[in-house]
A and B are shown apart, each in its own frame.
Chain A
Amino acid sequence: MARIDLDHIRHAYTADPRSEADYALKEVHHTFADGTACALLGPSGCGKTTLLNIISGLLRPSDGKVLFDGRDVTALSTEERNIAQVFQFPVVYDTMTVYQNLAFPLRNRGVPEAEVDTRVREIIDMIDLGGMADRRANRLTADSKQKIALGRGLVRSDVNAILFDEPLTVIDPHMKWMLRSQLKQLHRRVGFTMVYVTHDQTEALTFADVVVVMYEGEIVQIGTPAELFERPSHTFVGYFIGSPGMNVLPVKLDGTTARIGEVAVPLPAPVKIENGAKTELGIRPEYLSLGREGAPFAISKIEDIGRQKIVRGTLESHPVAVVVGEDGEIPADARLAFDPAGINIYADSWRVEPEARA
């Protein structure tokens, strides 16, 4: 178990990076506290796997240092860093039994056989594979194999961190949910530092205490799932997290009023924007409501997704989605109301903190 410090890390795959654009991973400076479950979330190609490989030691960053508990491990290889990793598809030793698979990392380190046995038995129960100890690993289903891969990390009590590289990719959808919640429980129980790479927001939000959202080689926000939802610091986070994503509308600011074309939306607090910046208003569909008061709204489509309805339409010719409860009424001539609590203002795609009320 360890605290992980990423000290001004940058990485370029080209030998001689000149401009900012050459860096696949732009500067990262962050600390993962000991015992956190952290998720790296972003679309493919955003640099999250690069960052994971830097932590695991498969890649050496072009600039910066990686520290485990304050010790500089940048130059150390994967095995010297004492980490464990669960890969995209299950890696198990085919010819070994489940028990032998779990005992393998311990035996390689010369742990006494008696201790190996207690440890392995404990982990087998923990990952819910009791009764399968003597089965050949290659006969198991993908999710059980993935549990073995995880178990090989858990079995080592001295492990610094457990890394997950999109571990649920090949798992059947109905098993995904099971495995996800088991993983969460395991984390609570063992308290290892865990870093989990995924492009699936549900996985990230359910697993992690802290989510790192990445976009085009850059960290755009680090926060708890609630923060990401309520206060997306970049319009990308707004789009990427939540379903449907945040509505982003171009506005003109006028004191505590934002104007979308003819429509005026009152803001909870004044926001100061530099001149010339592209100004947008972001609001999640959950903070919009339909009623008899508000801005004129032309409904184009209503999607019923069970407990909620998603109403799509246009406001001043900008597409907008609204979430309405199952029993929520949708008036024929609906008008759109904004809940001020859910309004965020963006300048050049980055969120601007409102000024404190004078």
Chain B
Amino acid sequence: MRLRWLVPTVYIIFLMLPIYWLINMSFKTTNEILGGFSLYPRNFTTASYVEILTNPVWYNGYLSSISYVVINTVISVTVALPAAYAFSRYRFLGDKHLFFWLLTNRMAPPAVFALPFYQLYSAINLFDTPWAVALAHCLFNIPLAVWILEGFMSGVPKEIDETAYIDGYSWPRFFVKIFMPLIASGIGVTAFFCFMFSWVEMLLAKSLTAVAAKPIAAVMTRTASTSGYELGLLAAAGVLTIIPGALVIYFVRNYIAKGFALGRV
């Protein structure tokens, strides 16, 4: 029992190894990488990072990734809020079926939708814009948002709503002024999950963009394959794509444990 700290420690070391290796590679010169195995960079260089940060293709890749992720998060949370309220407070015609149907979309394989999405968003002239990706990601993020928010809202006693109505609040004013602050942590958690799944999803993001709105992670693999076997550049780009995620986790670190309970436990 005294050694139980070993379990998480070993697990975390296992998690960190590939990341360390990526960072290690990103500071090596191409010659050193191809020259053989080494545990740390012998000829430390930041050339790969300089290349990435001075090249507008990379820079734009970052911007477009961030923009579709943010647009998606905002849309998902905004439309999910009233819907989750309806599911948590009211019975209405077909509510259970509707909820199940929503959930099935979280479970639809993106591979099934890649081609039809391409045709659909081409047809409405949104192809290769952040909006296309942001809207497409709504397919799985909105159901997820509704599901998580519904859990948090069900934890708020219904008497609060009734008291507010008796006090003369209109529904929109009650919802914004009283109800939303009560489930603020739930909204934060939901936004975190939407951000996460939109940021990591690549199949749809790649299929719906060509040049202008190419996400950073897609720029990365493409550049790496067109410019030959440049592992150093690939590794540096990989490291840079980890940073936004790491920042987001750092900011929510004290809410992670509570957040993953999804308000339901």
Query: Does a CB–CB distance below 8 Å link A and B in the complex?
Result: no
What is the interface of chain A, defined by CB distance below 8 A to chain B? Answer: none
